[in-house]
Amino acid sequence: MKAPLERLGWSNNDAKVYYNPRHQVLRHLQSSRACAKSRTTPARFVDEEEKKRENSLVTHDLFEQVARESKTKATFNKVIEVFIKRDIRRRGHVEFIYAALKKMPEFGVERDLVVYNKLLDVFPKEVFVPRNFIQRMFNHYPRQQECGVQLLEQMENYGIMPNVETKVLLVQIFGEKGHPVRKYQRIMYWFPKFKHINPFPIPQQLPEDPVDLARFSLTRIANDLDAKVTVYQLPYTDMTESGEELTLPHIVGIQSPSQMELLAKHNLNRPVFVEGPFPLWLRKTCVHYYVLRADPKPPEEQVEEPYDPERCFDYPLQLELDFDRDLGDNEDFDVEDLDEGPVYAMCMTSQGDQATLNQWIAGLQQNNPVLGQVPALFRLEPGPRELQGAAESVSGHSSRPHPDSHVENAQSGEDAEVILEEEARRSHGMKQ
């Protein structure tokens, strides 16, 4: 009896095998024939009612049908409810879950544990639990288990930790020792271990306001608690007399006392450089910053400064003890130091052209009078600026489009400093 059934292909669509096949052999035979028939006709010729009844392609359409007008969590839940109510046997639920997993980012519910639990609830309960040791030994209902593992893996990839409800559901569906339950246990073991290991944590929701975002990222990269953030210019839109709309970019800078000290000691004959933009990634958003720096001092200018004994009263900063120190006490790495020149200040702005950065330098000059006497050269790389614009438009606030060639042309007629800048850029290019 069994062999001809197989030849007819009843195990063809195994998602339909829910209950013990012993009792329902005949029914499956019938349904599978219908299924095989509908399979042969291409999907686009099948009319709507037939599609709704049988084909596994329905699941994709279900999302399009139910959630046609808006894609939110509510409509996603509605789709799941529609699916659950449609068929008491939950026919094609594996396909439905795969489709739902794929659609989750579209509906914006990929980080929602409740939705995952609800999706897991679609699985029929206690059907896939192995009942004897042979079933337990072999992979019992592998497709369903694979699907459950896939769901948990998507949770894992989005960093969602399952809860007790998930576990109860999984145990009900797949039994105590099924693969999905194992996967759950693995997640519960490893996730808490690595939850807080990032030494530079980033909040899940980055601040929306560009100034706040700039403040956050500047304090992150400055790595100095004494560093002070200064907002040189807030973004605002202004109307000029001729009716043009003028958008002023935000300029946020950071400078620490030690950087000010370094800048005060800067040799007046040597220029300082404004470099950038350099990328900084905060999870999935990329911001760019600019750096005010100088070239490293040539070896003849480097002076070893003696420690000021009054700098710290609690303990001496320098010890002149003549112990027998040998190789075993040497804790420094044997590498030559990299000298890249000091960094004097950093800033972030939405518009990285020379005029804006000049404004930043002018603002810095209030606290650092040296900058008035030192020539400042701009080494701005054009490359990532378009990227920055793209990243910003993604993150929500738009920046005024500014083609680089236009900016450079506008500046080329101004004064002799530009020539210097060009030279600087060329030498910079040669150095690379």
Partner 1 sequence: MSLLKITHHPPLRLLGCIHQPLFPFITPFTVPSRTLIQSGYRRPGKPREDQFPWQKIKFDLSKGLQGIKNHFTLLKNEFLGRWVGPEGKPILEHMLEQNRVVWEFRGPESLQNWTVSSDEEIGGQSRVYLKLGKNDNTCFLYGTLGSSPPKDGLTRYSGYCTMRSKQLLASFDRKKHHDWSSFNTLHLRIRGDGRPWMVNITAETYFSHQKDDIYSYFLYTRGGPYWQDVKIPFSKFFLTHRGRIQDDQHPLWLDKINTIGFTLGDKADGPFQLEIDYIGVCKDYAHTEDFAYEVYKRNPEV
Binding characters for partner 1, 348-387, by CB under 8 A (x = yes):
------------------------------------x--x
For 260, the token pair is 């000010």
| 373 vs 261: CA distance, rounded Å | 16
Cβ distance to partner 1 smaller for residue 14 or 87: 14
Measured distance CA(235)–CA(197) in Å, rounded: 36
Query: 93 and 77 in contact (C-beta within 8 Å)?
Result: no
- Which CB sits closer to partner 1, 82 or 282? 282
Q: Which among 11-19, 112-120, 123-131, 366-374 is the span making contact with partner 1, rule CB under 8 A?
A: 11-19
Smallest gap from Cβ 405 to partner 1, in A, equals: 22
Q: How near is the Cβ of 284 to partner 1 at its closest, in Å?
A: 4
CB of 222 to partner 1, least distance (A): 7
Residue pair 47/125 in contact by the 8 Å Cβ criterion:
no
Six-digit token pair at 207?
């601040």
In eight-state DSSP terms, residue 290 is E
Q: Select from 42-50, 240-248, 324-332, 404-412 the region that touches partner 1 (CB under 8 A).
A: 324-332
Distance CA 269, CA 103 (A): 62
Query: Nearest approach, Cβ of 411 to partner 1 (angstroms)?
Result: 25
Instruction: Report DSSP letters for 190-243, one per residue.
Output: HHHHTTT--SS---SS--SSHHHHHHHHHHHHH--TT-EEEEEE--EEEE-TTS
> What is the rounded CA–CA span in Å between residue 197 and residue 194?
5
The correct pick among 57, 206, 260, 282 for binding partner 1 (CB under 8 A) is 282
Among 170, 272, 391, 407, binds partner 1 (CB under 8 A): 391
- Dist CA 337 CA 155 (whole Å): 45
Which of these ranges, 44-52, 80-88, 334-342, 399-407, lies near partner 1 under the rule CB under 8 A? 334-342
CA–CA separation, 122 and 87 (whole Å):
11
Q: Which of 278, 359, 404, 411 binds partner 1 (CB under 8 A)?
A: 278
Give the range of 8-16, 310-318, 352-360, 399-407 binding partner 1 by CB under 8 A.
Answer: 8-16
114 to 143, contacts with partner 1 by CB under 8 A? 138-139, 141-143
Residue 131 CB neighbours (<10 A)? 11
Closer residue to partner 1 (CB): 67 or 392: 392
Cis bond before residue 277 (omega within 30° of 0) = yes
How many C-beta neighbours within 10 Å does residue 111 have? 14
Residue 315 interacts with partner 1 (CB under 8 A)?
A: no
Q: Which is nearer to partner 1, 13 or 354 (CB)?
A: 13
The least CB distance from residue 328 to partner 1, in Å, is 4
Identify any residues that bridge with 286 across adjacent strands, giving them in sequence order.
281
Q: 239 or 338, CB closer to partner 1?
A: 338
Residues near 172 by beta carbon (within 8 Å), at least 6 away in sequence: 125, 126, 129
Amino acid symbol at 315: Y
The continuous run of DSSP H or E covering 294 comes out as strand 285-294
Q: Name which of 298, 263, 253, 275 is nearest 374 in CA terms.
A: 263
Cβ contacts of 174 within 8 Å, gap of 6 or more? 128, 129, 144, 145, 148, 180, 181
For partner 1, the closer CB: 223 or 240 = 223
Q: Choose between 109 and 348: whose C-beta lies nearer to partner 1.
A: 348
CB of 285 to partner 1, least distance (A): 8
Q: Are the beta carbons of 112 and 77 closer than 8 angstroms?
A: no
Q: Round to whole Å and give the CA distance between 204 and 193.
A: 19
Read off the tokens for 228. Answer: 């002070």
343 binds partner 1 (CB under 8 A): yes
Per-residue x/- mask for partner 1, residues 138 to 177, rule CB under 8 A? Answer: xx-xxx--x----------x--------------------
Site for partner 1, residues 185 to 224, rule: CB under 8 A: 185-186, 189-190, 193-194, 197-200, 217, 220-223
- The answer to whether 335 contacts partner 1 (rule: CB under 8 A) is yes
Nearer to partner 1, 138 or 315 (CB): 138
> Binding to partner 1 by residue 333, rule CB under 8 A?
yes
By CB under 8 A, name the binding residues for partner 1.
1-3, 6, 9, 11-14, 39, 98, 138-139, 141-143, 146, 157, 181-182, 185-186, 189-190, 193-194, 197-200, 217, 220-223, 278-284, 286, 289, 291, 293, 326-336, 338, 340, 343, 346, 384, 387, 391, 431-432
